[in-house]
């Protein structure tokens, strides 16, 4: 199959590289010339484990290339995937479809022969039908179908998720489009990974419903964690106990400082707005959004309590600022609430993060970036574990405690425990929900 991938952001680049590894001929398109130049030079503009090597392998095999010329990429393609950004629109919570519709118009002018235009971006219900109308208006003679193919990639594990998915969701309007999509995903079908074929609206809804449910699960355990702190229970034991129930499952039950990233905040906001527009308020989703914001604020107060009620004049070492480990993504990360609160309160903040500097330098002005956690905690009043990078899972707590002015730790990921921290010399250890 010949595939054009429009957009080389996180979803587009990972999907394009993985499709080429299936054996398809893939051309990735982006308007950003500097990004395409980087890719053509073999450099990956995002951090995703394994992506650079897989990209190099398929470029060398002649199956993967990069261009700014959308018309040339779309000409003769069997399928064109739209994988451009759909950020939350300012003011109303809607997903901004400007880039999607602009791509659809350009695709319409460049198509030759029958083409399936596939929306990979996360889009509100009805968008694929809008894409179809946009193409028809721009090119009434076009021979094409539209399809919805939402992504379910976890940053930091995206390649494995693509190659070993829980399911692939494909929304189509007829068998002809369905057969093209089946050919594209045949390598997964032959290995017995489930391919769920639905109508367009159901495919669009599956994406939002899945992310809203996972955000709800995270927020639920974070709220339980707050209650555990009041009544003396341990949220890790509670999570383990309820996670053993097959109806609940143990994933996404780790208490922490709230969810962030490129998907959950944007998609819960969009789903809430879809409900409002259709006179059916999504009350659970709206509550999840509010409680998640409250969780981040509660973490700030936890840090304030650990510093005897004030940040002013204190030195704080923050370990991890990306929204999760194994990514450089800072979008809606809890650190964007917590670190500015520390600085605004008069604290001196030192940050250590293996990949966070590229985005974090601009987003977190006023912090001192350091490479080594042991240097960061020297003469500090508090160390905060904010993102659970592997580098922070086996720290020498005794060495850290000796270097600190006042050895206090707030562990917002429950990596350690009070007993081991105090045995190492920490005078205070605070986790979440414990």
- What rounded mean pLDDT belongs to the chain? 96
Return the pLDDT at 88: 79
Instruction: Write out the two tokens for 397.
Output: 């707590």
Q: Are residues 184 and 244 in the same domain?
A: no
Proportion of the chain above pLDDT 90, given as a percent: 96
Q: Are residues 24 and 165 in the same domain?
A: yes
Whether residue 174 contacts residue 145, with contact meaning beta carbons closer than 8 Å, is answered with yes
The 3 state secondary structure assigned to 127-151 is HHHHHHHHHHHHCCCCCEEEEECCC
Instruction: Write out the two tokens for 405.
Output: 């002015």
Q: Are residues 374 and 264 in the same domain?
A: yes
Q: Between the CA atoms of 130, 133, 139 and 144, what dihedral angle is there, to the nearest 10 degrees?
A: 80
Any idea what DSSP says for residue 392? G
Q: Are residues 15 and 145 in the same domain?
A: yes
What is d(CA 238, CA 290) in angstroms, rounded to the nearest whole number? 23
When pLDDT is averaged across residues 233-244 and rounded to a whole number, the result is 97
Comparing CA positions, the residue from 132, 161, 131, 129 lying closest to residue 48 is 161
**C-beta atoms surrounding 350 within 10 Å:** 21
Measured distance between the N- and C-terminal CA atoms of the chain, rounded to whole angstroms: 53
Whether residue 317 contacts residue 323, with contact meaning beta carbons closer than 8 Å, is answered with no
Element (H, E) at 64: strand 64-67
What is d(CA 417, CA 306) in angstroms, rounded to the nearest whole number? 16
Q: What share of the chain is helix, strand, coil (3-state, %, to 5)?
A: 45, 15, 40
Q: What is the CATH number of the domain that holds 419?
A: 3.40.50.720
Q: Examine the pLDDT at 432 and tell me if it is beyond 80.
A: yes
Which residue numbers belong to the known binding site?
30, 35, 86, 122, 152-155, 207, 252-256, 260, 266, 324, 331
Any idea what DSSP says for residue 423? H
Of 164, 198, 232, which residue constitutes the final position of a domain? 198
When pLDDT is averaged across residues 25-52 and rounded to a whole number, the result is 96
Of 198, 227, 254, which residue constitutes the final position of a domain? 198
Return the pLDDT at 95: 80
Instruction: Write out the two tokens for 253.
Output: 């039950």
When pLDDT is averaged across residues 155-182 and rounded to a whole number, the result is 96
Token pair 């018309």 is at which residue?
Answer: 71
Token pair 């480990």 is at which residue?
Answer: 325
Q: Are residues 143 and 218 in the same domain?
A: no
Of 198, 216, 251, which residue constitutes the final position of a domain? 198
Q: Are residues 47 and 92 in the same domain?
A: yes
Dihedral sign computed on CA atoms, order 335, 337, 340, 345: negative
Ranking 85-99, 185-199, 200-214 by mean pLDDT, the lowest is 85-99
Any idea what DSSP says for residue 164? S
Q: Are residues 135 and 255 in the same domain?
A: no
Strand locations in 257-411 (E) = 315-319, 348-352, 368-369, 382-385, 408-411
Number of domains present in the structure of the chain: 2
Q: Examine the pLDDT at 91 and tell me if it is beyond 70.
A: no
Which residue numbers belong to the known binding site for substrate?
152-155, 207, 252-256, 260, 324
Element (H, E) at 118: strand 115-119
User: pLDDT of 117-142, one tens digit each?
Assistant: 999 998 989 999 999 999 999 999 99
Whether residue 118 contacts residue 79, with contact meaning beta carbons closer than 8 Å, is answered with yes
* DSSP class per residue in 242-298: HHTSTTT-STT----S---SSSHHHHHHHHHHHHHHTT---HHHHHHHHHHHHHHHH
User: For residue 324, what are the CA distances in angstroms to 319, 388, 389?
Assistant: 12, 7, 8
Q: Are residues 153 and 189 in the same domain?
A: yes
Q: Are residues 186 and 208 in the same domain?
A: no
User: pLDDT of 290-333, one tens digit each?
Assistant: 999 999 999 999 999 999 999 999 999 999 999 999 999 999 99
When pLDDT is averaged across residues 328-343 and rounded to a whole number, the result is 96
User: pLDDT of 356-413, one tens digit each?
Assistant: 999 999 999 999 999 999 999 999 999 999 999 999 999 999 999 999 999 999 999 9
What is d(CA 161, CA 159) in angstroms, rounded to the nearest whole number? 5
**Phi/psi at 62 (5° precision):** 85, 10
Classify burial at 183, counting beta carbons within 10 Å of its beta carbon; exposed 0-12, middle 13-18, buried 19 or more.
middle
pTM: 0.92
**Residues tagged active-site:** 263
Q: Are residues 389 and 266 in the same domain?
A: yes
What is d(CA 287, CA 275) in angstroms, rounded to the nearest whole number? 13
Q: Are residues 138 and 207 in the same domain?
A: no
Domain coverage including residue 129: 2-198
Q: Are residues 187 and 91 in the same domain?
A: yes
**Phi/psi at 145 (5° precision):** -135, 160
Which residue numbers belong to the known binding site for NAD(+)?
30, 35, 86, 122, 155, 266, 331
Return the pLDDT at 249: 96
Any idea what DSSP says for residue 120? -
Comparing CA positions, the residue from 370, 375, 348 lying closest to residue 360 is 370
């Amino acid at each position: 199959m010949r595939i054009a991938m429009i957009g080389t952001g996180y979803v587009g680049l990972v999907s394009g590289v993985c499709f080429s590894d299936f054996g398809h001929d893939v051309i990735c398109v982006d308007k950003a010339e500097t990004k395409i130049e980087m890719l053509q030079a073999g450099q990956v503009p995002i951090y995703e484990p394994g992506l650079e090597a897989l990209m190099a392998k398929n470029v060398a095999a002649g199956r993967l290339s990069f261009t700014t010329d959308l018309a040339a990429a779309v000409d003769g393609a069997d399928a064109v995937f739209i994988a451009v950004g759909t950020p939350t629109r300012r003011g109303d919570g809607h997903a901004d479809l400007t880039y999607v519709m602009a791509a659809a118009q350009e695709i319409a002018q460049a198509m030759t022969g029958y083409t399936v235009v596939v929306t990979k971006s996360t889009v509100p219900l009805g968008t694929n039908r809008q894409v179809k109308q946009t193409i028809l208006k721009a090119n009434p003679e076009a021979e094409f179908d539209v399809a919805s193919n939402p992504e379910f990639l976890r940053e930091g594990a995206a390649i494995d998720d693509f190659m070993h998915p829980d399911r692939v969701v494909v929304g189509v309007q007829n068998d002809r489009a369905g057969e093209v999509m089946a050919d594209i995903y045949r390598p997964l079908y032959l290995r017995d990974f489930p391919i769920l074929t639905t109508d367009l609206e159901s495919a669009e809804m599956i994406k939002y419903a899945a992310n809203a449910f996972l955000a709800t699960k995270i927020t639920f355990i974070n709220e339980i964690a707050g209650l555990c702190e009041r009544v003396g229970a341990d949220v890790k034991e509670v999570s383990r106990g309820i996670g053993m129930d097959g109806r609940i499952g143990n994933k996404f039950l780790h208490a922490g400082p709230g969810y962030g990233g490129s998907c959950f905040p944007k998609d819960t906001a969009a789903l809430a707005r879809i409900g409002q527009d259709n006179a059916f308020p999504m009350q659970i989703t709206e509550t999840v959004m509010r409680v998640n914001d409250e969780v981040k604020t509660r973490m700030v107060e936890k840090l304030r309590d650990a510093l005897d009620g004030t940040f002013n004049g204190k030195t704080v070492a923050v370990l991890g600022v990306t929204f999760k480990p194994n990514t450089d993504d800072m979008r809606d990360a809890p650190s964007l609430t917590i670190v500015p609160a520390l600085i605004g309160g008069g604290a001196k903040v030192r940050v250590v993060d293996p990949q966070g500097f590229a985005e974090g330098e601009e987003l977190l002005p006023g912090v001192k970036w350091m490479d080594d956690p042991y240097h960061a905690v020297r003469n500090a009043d508090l160390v905060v574990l904010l993102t659970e990078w592997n580098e922070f899972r086996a720290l020498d707590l005794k060495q850290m405690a000796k270097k600190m002015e006042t050895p206090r730790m707030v562990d917002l990921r429950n990596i350690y425990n009070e007993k081991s921290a105090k045995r190492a010399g920490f005078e205070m250890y605070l986790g979440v929900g414990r």
